Amino acid sequence: MIKKEIKQDKESVAYSTGAVREDKSGKGRMDLVPISTLLLINDFKCEDLAFLEADNLPDCISLLKDTLCNWIIDLGDSESVDVLQAPHQSLAVGMLALSKHYEAGGILKGDHNWRKGLPIKLYFSAALRHYVQHHTNEVDMTFDNEYHMRAAVWNLSAALHTLIAINDGQLPASLLEGTLING
């Protein structure tokens, strides 16, 4: 069995909040692709992408919660050998897989780096890119053993946490720049 890992690029960018993240230039900006174009990919559902067009924080948080739940179930389905498992089992399997991604990320960047706050557009772009990579079986030739669905769900989970923290005044609204969301 091939051991899959979290991709670690050589160059990292430090943000004003103190969080660090790999430089993603050259990987595409999925957050800029119109929803109408993304929907050409059969695996995307309109309701799962609605958070990208939300123009206010409460709506975006609500829509993102729904999408995150759907994607965790999808993750659970992709990680399970039991094709007939019930949805609550898929959710549990997905949560366990997500926790493993958090664990691996904690080893690379520190357990709570993601809590410090990163621009939302980075999370959205990476989540969509990993989702497409998972559902199209795209292989990243520089690192072909990455759990793309885990990474997609992790990015949505971190985005949701960040949006809630911005809404509660714990992180700066400047992290919303480059999105349609008004803080």
Residue 102 has pLDDT above 70, yes or no: yes
Q: Which residue has the higher pLDDT, 5 or 51?
A: 51
In 10 A of CB 114, how many CB atoms? 23
pLDDT digits over 19-53, tens only? 877 777 777 778 778 877 877 776 677 778 888 88
What would the mean pLDDT of 71-89 be, rounded to a whole number? Answer: 76
Q: Which residue has the higher pLDDT, 86 or 27?
A: 27
pLDDT at 2: 43
pLDDT at 41: 73
pLDDT digits over 126-146, tens only? 999 998 888 777 655 445 567
- Sign, CA dihedral 160-164-170-171, equals positive
Residue 77 has pLDDT above 70, yes or no: yes
pLDDT at 54: 87
pLDDT at 105: 85
Half-sphere exposure of residue 155: CA atoms within 13 angstroms, side-chain side: 23
pLDDT at 144: 54
List strand residue ranges (DSSP E) for the chain, in order. Answer: 12-14, 20-22
Q: Which residue has the higher pLDDT, 88 or 62?
A: 62
Using the 8-state DSSP alphabet, how is residue 22 labeled? Answer: E
CA pair distance 113, 63, nearest whole angstrom? 25
CA 82 to mean position of chain CA atoms: 25
pLDDT at 106: 87
Residue 173 has pLDDT above 60, yes or no: yes
